Each structure stands twice: as structure tokens, then as C-alpha cells.
Amino acid sequence: MALDQNKTLNSLGFAKPPSETRVVVAMSGGVDSSVVAAMLAEQGYDVVGVTLQLYDHGAALAKKGACCAGLDIHDARRVAETMGFPHYVLDYENVFKDAVIDEFADSYLGGATPVPCIRCNERVKFKDLLETAKDLEADCMATGHYIQRMMGDAGPELHSAADANRDQSYFLFSTTPEQLDYLRFPLGHLPSKDDTRALAAKYGLSVADKPDSQDICFVPNGDYASVIRKLRPEAAAPGDIVDVDGKVLAQHDGVINYTIGQRKGLGIGGLADPLYVVKLDPNTRHVIVGPKSMLATRIVPLKEINWLGDEPLTSRTEWHVGVRVRSTRPPTDAIIRPISDTEATVELITAEQGVSPGQACVFYDRDSSRIFGGGWIHKG
């Protein structure tokens, strides 16, 4: 018998028993999403596991530590069998190539430093897969991401994970209010990854000791250049390494082999002060180098902003927030100055080094764990 609206909500926020609450769990085959599916199944929810096959099944079979490929699909299926819920594999190779891989290649060739995991969440997992969950008449979709969804006065809010070392908010800033209304993140409150693995062991899951994925799923061993070379063979054309005045200092074997802020491997010796890659120009095939001071950035132009504040972004001329310009650094004090609903200029109170077009700038409340969204850094 269903509960009425005055009764206690279940753990996913619905006023009905778990058995009458259908939840689609996005299962990558890793320990995190497997634990989410097992936890919800044990609690009595109507769980449906869905795994996306995102790239070539055969080529992926030998690669451990990625997601959404051969071995991982097998692992997700075994978890579903162990816990007794249905599991489906959807072929999203073409969608993934069009929405994520091609842009990754083009962005990288344009001298940017792309973050394809954000685009995958934005354009595939939280868009197409979310629509599939609705087609399956699910009440919500759950994932194994380490981030928290909390109810505020104006509706669901996005908050950093309880475990700062596992927090994935940088990769989820583009989650829209509409998506956040439908999504659930059951692991975000856990104190540490050890708690997740303990749950996996408790449920008897075969993935309990499976290593975490470290690389971008379609970039083996973090070797961006080899992937770009396959996707865009013309990108390996040689060119010149030049200083900021255009003086040729050395030659290189492809702009794709360099990133902003790189110091080693430039092949330039005999200098009193080290040089760093400060800019990439794919059109002229120039790798531009300069002193470390040139890497320092205070003003960061943003586009494609996803704003998660209670008031419109443009309701103020300035927002004082914390921002992250890369996933590995803690938030730093900054001022957002809106230009439109989707564009702004961010002033970093303390200059950051190596800020690169193609990366994300994510907004944080300085007084709480709340995330106000973010935007994409561009050349301005």
C-alpha cells in the first residue's frame, strides 16, 4: 500500500515504499556504481542497472581500469546477477564519438586542454541515459559519483562530497537544475572510499577489490598524443618552438605532444632560466615558450556557464565565491562578473599558473559545501 504525502519519505525522497520506487542505476562496472546498485537493491528498491558501451568492445577487453568497456560490462552484469535485478547494456558508441571524442580531438588540436569526462556526464550520461531512465518509467536515476544532492529552500542543491579526497564536483558542475531534480548520489555522504569497499565486501560483490580507474576511458595510460594521432593524423606535423618574440629556438614533432605549463622535454638547453610552454598555435604549428611568470593568470573569461544559484547570475554585478580552475587544486577566492546568463569574467584574487582554455572553472560557496555551477574557460 502506498504511503500518503504526509508520511515519511524513503531514502531517495519519495513518499512511497522502496518496492514501488523504480531507480535506474548507471553502472560503469566499477566498485562505486556497483555498490550503489547493490545498496538500493538490498533496501528493496525496484532497481534497473544500465551500462553504456561507449567505445570498441574488442579493443577495450584488454584494458583494465577504464569504464564502459568489455571487462567492465561483464563486471556490471555479474553484480546485477548477484543482487537479482535486471541489467541492460546500451550501445552508445556513435553518440560518445560525436558528443565527446571528436570534440576532445578538435579542442586539443585548437591548443586547448579539454576535460572530456565533464562532456561525457553532460552530453551522454546525464542527457541520453537520463532520458532512457525516464523511458523505463524510473522515478529517478542514481550514480556512483562522489557528490551530494541536498534539498534547499529553492529546491535540490549540489554540494561537495563529504570526503574531500574523493569529491567529483569539478566534473559535475554542468549538471542542470532539471537533471539535479531527477538524479541521486547515494555515496556522497560517505566519509571515505574505504567505506564503499567495505559495503562491496558486505554485499559479496566481485568488484570489491577492483582498482579505481585513473585514466580518461579512451586514453590509455594518459597518452593523449597517441589518441589524437589516430583520430587526426595530420596533427603530428612538425613545427617550431619559438619564444614570445617569434624567435625559433628548436623544432618539435607535433603540437599535440605539448601542454600549457610544460617544462620538460622541450629540447632547449643552455639557458639561465627555464622556459615553459605558454601558448600553442596549431595554425602556425608553433609551440610558444616563455618564463614561468607568463603562466600566471588573474582574469579568466568563461562561456557556457551553468548557474546553480537561487538568484539569476545576472541579478548581481559581482559574486564573491571560491573557484577551481583544475580538479586537483582546492577552491581559491575569486569574483565573478556576469556578462550574460551564460558568460562572465572571473577575477582570481591570487593569480593561478597554467590556466588553459578548454578547462572548467567551477564555482563554490565560500561559507558552505554548496556548488554554484561553473563555466568553460576560453581564449577571450
Residue numbers annotated as active site: 120, 217
Pairing, β 370-377 against β 360-364: antiparallel
> 3-state DSSP call for residue 82?
helix
Closest CA to 204 of 70, 69, 23, 42: 42
Q: Are 73 and 89 in contact (CB under 8 A)?
A: yes
Q: Are 44 and 18 in contact (CB under 8 A)?
A: yes
Query: Which residues have CB under 8 Å from 134's CB, separation 6+?
Result: 182
Three-state secondary structure string covering 188-242: CCCCCHHHHHHHHHHCCCCCCCCCCCCCCCCCHHHCHHHHHHHHCHHHHCCEEEE
- All 3 cell numbers of residue 324? 577551481
The owner of cell 541579478 is: 315
Q: Are 115 and 359 in contact (CB under 8 A)?
A: yes
d(CA 34, CA 83): 10
Alpha helices in the chain (DSSP H): 31-42, 57-60, 70-83, 93-96, 102-109, 116-120, 130-135, 177-182, 193-202, 224-231
Closest CA to 230 of 99, 109, 71, 62: 109
> 3-state DSSP call for residue 313?
helix
- The span from the first CA to the last CA of the chain, in angstroms, equals 58
